[in-house]
Amino acid sequence: MPTTLLRRVTIVHEDEAGVGGAVADVRLDDGAISEIGDLAAADGEVVEELAGHLLLPAAVEPHAHLDKAFLAERIANPTGDLMGAITAMRSNRHLLGVEETAERAERAARLMAANGYRAVRSHADTTVDHGLRSIEALSEVKRRVADVIDVEIVALCGWPVTGAGGADQRALVTEAMAVGADVVGGVPHLEDEGSAREATEFLLQLATDVGADVDLHTDETLDASVLGLSILAELTSAGFSHSVTASHCVSLGTQDELTQRRIAERVAEAGIAVVALPHTNLFLQGRGWAPMPRGLTAVAALRAAGAVVAAGADNLQDPFNPLGRACPFETAGLMTMAAHLLPHEAWATVSTASAAATGREAVTVEVGSAAHLVAVRADTVREAIAFGPADRVVWRAGERVHP
């Protein structure tokens, strides 16, 4: 494979806080960045003229639902809230076959790759009424798109998973881990009252048994009495040996400052990464409330405690979120506005922090780093987030995959 020279591209330096950068040439060789500077083109080298483009590490989508993507026109959510979306999906399972799901999911994954994502972690519904259809569909998609984007599959265990009534669900999620899922997932806060701890214990034990990481839908509610994140931090600290990610964590945002700080410190000490999901949580949470709360986790408290805080888009044009462009700049923009992050901080939530939350290697625009990169027509990170230009070039391990 010939080397590639990216000419006159803008590189942001950390000490400039994402405000500006230097123009340089970047050489990609054998899947990595080999040189940065004022470089002359070598014989036979592929040369990309990129004056006016900003070069950034490719993003990682830490939380998606590829199996539900693009269902907005087919499955309506007239109430616009979380339970309305869940009910709508349950009522329309008969519409969702394996191949049909795979086609929609592949479309979404390829759109993500073209927009600058190098990897996506997707939760796949694993419920008694749906069986393993989503696991089968995403396993096929993972194979189909492997040349442009990595797909990691989370078995999203349904509920109840506890007690005698949860026996079939426990068996199903265990089977899912044997036939294609990579990560154990679930929704402990939707268990019957008092069963969240038991459900969390089961999911952590299953992950231990199969040697997998855990990514749980945690406290996706504005109910301040729901404290599943605290339970997860306690159980993780007790000796769980794999990576743990808590997605949503909305109720933490409703707590008083002292409680937020106390739980955030526990989360950081336990090494749990938190994924904020502004698109879907802002759409679903707080309907009918007056005053209307901000449906988002306590980003500031978690960051202050030293926890990894990533950001994802969650749902893509389905009953849980009718909008979305599968674009990391869109997510970063929402984190800027809704979570009060500065633009360079918001970009980190969809790139470096999202890579950490999903256990992926860090990528930087430095010599020696893997060449998973996106170039966008902009001068600064702020400008890239503000405009989200369609003019992008994406490389995967040094090979151009878009356009």
Q: Active-site residues: which are they?
A: 220
Task: Identify the CA nearest to 276 among candidates 303, 243, 239.
Answer: 303
HSE, side-chain direction, 13 A CA sphere, residue 149: 33
Q: What share of the chain is helix, strand, coil (3-state, %, to 5)?
A: 40, 25, 35
**Residue 130: φ, ψ to 5°:** -110, -20
Task: Give the torsion through C-alpha atoms of 36, 41, 45, 46, to 10 deg.
Answer: 70
Query: Any idea what the Cα angle at residue 364 is, between residues 358 and 368, rounded to 5°?
Result: 110
Centre a 10 Å sphere on the Cβ of residue 32 and count the other Cβ atoms it contains.
16
- Tell me whether residue 390 is exposed, middle or buried, using C-beta atoms within 10 angstroms of its C-beta: 0 to 12, 13 to 18, 19 or more: exposed
Q: What's the residue count for the chain?
A: 403
Task: Identify the CA nearest to 295 among candidates 264, 249, 329, 246.
Answer: 249
Q: How far apart are CA 296 and CA 310, in angstroms?
A: 13
Transcribe 14-62 into DSSP letters. GGGTTS-EEEEEEEEETTEEEEEES-PPPTT-EEEE-TTEEEEEPEEEE
Q: How far apart are CA 246 and CA 269, in angstroms?
A: 14
Helices of type H across 166-287: 167-179, 196-210, 228-237, 257-270, 278-284
Which of the 8 DSSP states describes residue 75?
A: S
- Decide if 150 contacts 117 (C-beta within 8 A): no
**Cα Rg for the chain, rounded, in angstroms?**
21
Hunting for tokens 């993972």 — which residue is that? 142
